[in-house]
Amino acid sequence: MSLDIKKFSDVLRMHKVSVTASRMKIFETLLQAERPLTNSEIVKRTPTVDRASVYRNLELFAELGITETMLRGWTPLTELAEPFRAHHHHMTCESCGRMIEIEDHELEEVLGSIVARHNFKLTKHLVELTGLCAQCQVS
């Protein structure tokens, strides 16, 4: 069994929810995704699981911190969160759609200090940059 799948079932057990075949299938769909997916893409890519169950479980995954959601237009996109993917943020080119992943230590530090200043306890954070990539600025 793959390491990710083991980690996944551990997270479910840790939260005392059942490890079911449907949840596995949905998780595998997310694992195999080459980019963040819309809900209906996830439904399509998990044909053996009912729509309703996909929705119920995507909501569960978000609560348990297994997934993260971001926005493209008015459409929410979901991808796996840590510890299933490296921690990162996105920089999206609005011309060609290319999505660059960002990992930046200093950025994380600044966010930490803002949060501390407000006595806030952070559970997650999202940073999305939008603009034109180097290539599209030229052409």
Q: How far apart are CA 77 and CA 68, in angstroms?
A: 8
| Region binding DNA by CB under 7 A among candidate stretches 32-40, 61-69, 77-85, 116-124 | 32-40
Burial label for 28, CB within 10 Å (0-12, 13-18, 19+), is middle
The partner in contact with residue 22, picked from DNA, a copy of itself, none with C-beta cut-offs of 5 to 8 angstroms by kind, is DNA
| Interface characters, 4-43, with a copy of itself (x: CB under 8 A) | -----------------------------------x----
Residue span binding a copy of itself (CB under 8 A) among the ranges 7-15, 25-33, 40-48, 129-137: 129-137
What is the CA angle 25-27-31, rounded to 5? 115
Q: Which does 120 bind (CB under 5 to 8 A by kind): DNA, a copy of itself, none?
A: a copy of itself
Query: Helices in 15-47 by DSSP H: which ranges?
Result: 21-32, 39-44
Cα diameter, the chain: 53
**Sequence-distant (≥ 6) Cβ neighbours of residue 57 within 8 angstroms:** 22, 23, 26
Residues that bind a copy of itself (CB under 8 A): 39, 59, 62, 69-71, 73-74, 76, 91, 93-94, 100, 102, 104, 106-107, 110-111, 113-115, 118-134, 137
